[in-house]
Amino acid sequence: MKILVLGGTSFLGPAIVEDAIARGWEVVLFNRGRTNPHLFPALEKIRGDRTTADVARISAVDCDAVVDTSGYFPAHVRAAAEAVKERSPQYLFVSSVSAFADLSVVGLTEAAPRARLEGDRLARIDALGFEDLRADMSLYGPLKAACEEAAEAVLPGRTTVLRPCFIVGPRDRSNRFHYWPWRMHQGGEILAPGPREVPVQLVDVRDLARFVNHCLAERHVGVHTVAGPAAATPIVELLHACKAATSTVGALTWVSEEFLLGQGATSWSIPFWVAPSDAASRGLQTVDASKARARGLELRPLAETARATLDDALSNGMDARWPHGARMREIERAWLAAWEDGR
């Protein structure tokens, strides 16, 4: 088996490459050589920027599958798919649960409609770039959906689309999940956003990577929603899993949704907290991954994800001074004081 990975050196990419190498596969990387260039010195690399005419360079590669972990705009995905369509039997595009049109729906399955741009934004879709995306993150989901369609249009019946929920674990530099293992490791009084039943979903990057390669090995095509943990998980379990990964002394103080909204919090102003009253986000952490599970998605225990993430944080020097964490703790301190005052 030989795979070509577009990107491959940031977060999900390395996990896919490591899993592929462990399977004894041959891996070729296509990227700019800017992100973590020290990774995988032994692999064949094609240098180039996929967002430019450089993408033609991959058309010379014979492989069994292409894995696209770095597509954000349909024009880029279309160009890559066109470049490889003669030489690669399968194209796996890593999309996102954001590609669902209506995230207010609980239990979204692959049959649910895709997000779409409308009107002027749709007309300009191939003119959109990273600056537009940074300026308006609401473009992210519809663009991912358009990327899915672009790949399927070029490679019908040969395209695999994976829609992961929040990807977490080693090398995640988004600060999202890392906050919790880091916070528990700092100890002290820890603000826990209630109610305890708030549903959470995440997928360990290593589990997602294994499923990516599993889909290639088994030639699974079509759309798959990818989410963990293995069972429905309320936020109380997520927090305690992170706490059980450290022996630092600390105690959780559960505060109510009403209190948090009163402090100006909104969904995700605390990582993985979705306000139950936020109807528009109700589907965000309740997607249905049963199709992927049935096709072989395996999910590790939360404890392993929490532990690996804490180890990753510590080995990256994320100590008490970690800027993102320190900012979060300032907010936390103010909120805990207000919570105490209100009681």
Partner 1 sequence: MKLLVLGGTRFLGPAIVDEAVARGHEVTLFNRGKTNPDLFPDLETLLGDRNVDLSALEGRTWDAVVDTCGYLPWQLERSARLLSSAVAQYVFISTVSVYADESHPGLDEESRVARLSDEEYERIDAMTLADVTGVTYGPLKALCERAVERLMPGRATAVRPGLICGPRDPTHRFGYWPWRLDRGGEVLAPRPMDGPQQFVDVRDLGGWIVRLVEEGHVGPYNAVGPGAPIPMEELLYGVKSVSVTPGSLTWVDEEFLVARDLGMWSIPLWVPAGDRRARGFNAVSNARAVAHGLTFRPLAETARGVLDDFDRRGDRATWEFGEEMLVKEAELLRQWRERAGG
Residues that bind partner 1 (CB under 8 A): 229-232, 236-237, 239-241, 243-249, 251-252, 299-304, 306-307
> What tokens were used for 124?
């300009």
Closest by CA to 271, choosing from 211, 336, 331, is 331
Q: What is the nearest approach in angstroms of partner 1 to the Cβ of residue 241?
A: 3
Q: Are 210 and 300 in contact (CB under 8 A)?
A: no
Mutual angle of helices 205-217 and 12-22, in 10-degree steps: 50
* Residue with Cβ nearer partner 1 (103 or 308): 308
Q: Are 157 and 221 in contact (CB under 8 A)?
A: yes
Q: What is the nearest approach in angstroms of partner 1 to the Cβ of residue 179?
A: 17
Closest by CA to 307, choosing from 182, 176, 173, 165, is 182
* Residue with Cβ nearer partner 1 (10 or 305): 305
Q: What is the nearest approach in angstroms of partner 1 to the Cβ of residue 274?
A: 19
* Residue with Cβ nearer partner 1 (65 or 297): 297
* Residue with Cβ nearer partner 1 (248 or 277): 248
Q: What is the nearest approach in angstroms of partner 1 to the Cβ of residue 86?
A: 42
* Distant-in-sequence, close-in-space partners of 343: CB < 8 Å, separation ≥ 6: none
DSSP for residue 54: G
Q: ω before 195 within 30° of 0 (cis)?
A: yes
* Residue with Cβ nearer partner 1 (112 or 209): 209
* Residue with Cβ nearer partner 1 (113 or 296): 296
Q: What is the nearest approach in angstroms of partner 1 to the Cβ of residue 119?
A: 44
The DSSP-derived string for 211-222 is HHHHHHHTT--E
CA distance 11 to 14: 6
